[in-house]
Amino acid sequence: MATQQVLNIGWLNALNAKKVILASSSPRRKDILSNLGVNYTVVPSTFPETLDKSKFNHPSEYVKANAYYKALEVYDRLKSTGDTPDLVIGADTVVAYASQILEKPKDEQDAIRMLKSLSGSSHMVYTGVTLIAPPSDNSDTPRIVTEVEGTEVMFQTLEDDVIEAYAKTGEPLDKAGAYGYQTTGSLLVKGINGCSWNVIGLPASKLFFMLKDFTAEP
């Protein structure tokens, strides 16, 4: 991913003077956040992501909840050690097809199954993003905002040998929906409607302006 020029603007400079935590070890999210010009430290969340999907009316609500709990786990953990961060950024991404949530495949065969279901059709990629910061008043309640971005992805009609060859690369195994748009998986994609960064792991533009608005709040 090419490095972008960092914008020299007041709120971003102020943010970079603070302790910002990314609650994810995802290389894709690290790249995107770095390209936004944000200085940060990685503290991966230990939230188990075992929420019951059937309790949510829509995949977007599910990713918002996961992003919230990931960020909150890191915020509370650091606060308990006396090292309260100025800002924690949590995120979660899922692929949704025919109202079914597709997360990371369990193994190669599961990846093949997912890719066959996506072949020749459209699906949605949802990323939830949560920002958590200490309270701005004397309360004990942290400041929290959570938003979600959806991107439509259209797949090529894929023959079995293409699906199987891609699955054997191992690339699908750590990707929601069993493909990585930023690498070889882009060959499977016919088109995108919406934010392409969102498919990779963070909605860059949305997050940038979330950070701007959040930083401006008293």
Query: Residue 140: pLDDT above 90?
Result: no
Cα–Cα dist 181/12, whole Å: 28
Q: Which residues are CB-contacts of 58 (< 8 A; sequence separation ≥ 6)?
A: none
The one-letter code for the residue type at 26 is S
| CATH classification at residue 130 | 3.90.950.10
Q: Which of 114, 128, 147 is nearest to 67 (CA)?
A: 128
In a domain, 3, yes or no: no
Domain assignment of residue 93, yes or no: yes
Contact of 158 with 184, CB cutoff 8 Å: no
Backbone angles phi, psi at 69, to 5 degrees: -70, -30
Catalytic residue numbers, as ranges = 92
Q: What is the pLDDT of residues 151-190, one digit of tens each?
A: 999 999 999 999 999 999 999 998 989 999 989 999 999 9
Domain assignment present for residue 4? The answer is no
In a domain, 66, yes or no: yes
For residue 144, report the phi and psi dihedrals to the nearest 5 degrees: -140, 135
Alpha-carbon dihedral sign for residues 1, 208, 67, 123: negative
Whether 1 is in a domain gets the answer no
Residue 211 lies in a domain: yes
Check whether 3 has a pLDDT greater than 70.
Answer: no
Q: Tell me if 186 is assigned to some domain.
A: yes
Per-residue confidence at 99, pLDDT binned at 50, 70, 90?
confident
Tell the residue number behind the tokens 């088109």, with chain if given: 191
From residue 31, alpha-carbon distances to 27, 42, 49, 136, 169 in Å are 6, 12, 23, 30, 22
Q: How far apart are CA 161 and CA 134, in angstroms?
A: 52
Number of domains into which the chain is organized: 1
In a domain, residue 135? The reply is: yes
**Domain span at 154:** 10-216
pLDDT at 108: 97
90 with 72: CB under 8 angstroms?
A: yes
Taking the whole predicted model, whether its pTM rises above 0.85 is answered as yes
